[in-house]
Amino acid sequence: MRKTESYRRQHDDLLQVAGEISRKLDAQKLSRDATEVRSLLSKLLGKLNVHLAAEDRALYPRLLNAGDPQAKSLAEKYISDMGGIAQTVKSYSQKWPSPVAIQKDAPSFVSETKSLFGALSKRIERENNELYNYVDKM
């Protein structure tokens, strides 16, 4: 089993829930009822917070303290990059705290959700292909 298997499974879970939400991104329908999407969004954000905490507590410290300049550099790069994404997620979550907030401006919610999911998807792909592959070889 790969060292990063649990992180990769978390990524799969995140992408699965994001996919469920994406299939429901219809502004017209969301303007009438956004309860299910908001519930799924809460599920996604919860999973994302658990994943980020696991990386912060275990993965990044391991890389930073590995005594390997490349590992340290890679960790620093991902930590720095994640700060921007984490702030975007926080702002997004605060803007869309309830089904009512989504219903009031469903077109903006749809647009912002697609943008956020695109950024998360790219981040996950980079982590899986670069960061986790490196860790698995350590």
Domain boundaries, the chain: 5-137
What's the rounded mean pLDDT across residues 70-87? 90
pLDDT of residue 121: 96
Question: What whole-number percentage of the chain has pLDDT above 90?
Answer: 92
What's the rounded mean pLDDT across residues 105-114? 98
Question: What whole-number percentage of the chain has pLDDT above 70?
Answer: 100
User: Distances in Å between the alpha carbon of 122 and those of 15, 26, 60, 128?
Assistant: 11, 23, 19, 10
Report the CATH architecture of 5-137: Up-down Bundle (1.20)
Asked if 78 and 123 count as a contact pair (C-beta separation under 8 A), the reply is no
pLDDT of residue 28: 97
d(CA 128, CA 7): 9
If pLDDT is split at 50, 70 and 90, which confidence band does 68 have?
very high
If pLDDT is split at 50, 70 and 90, which confidence band does 83 have?
confident
Average pLDDT, the chain: 95
What's the rounded mean pLDDT across residues 54-83? 92
User: Distances in Å between the alpha carbon of 68 and those of 46, 80, 82, 132?
Assistant: 33, 18, 21, 15
CB count within 10 Å of CB 97 equals: 12
pLDDT of residue 115: 97
DSSP 130: I
If pLDDT is split at 50, 70 and 90, which confidence band does 85 have?
confident
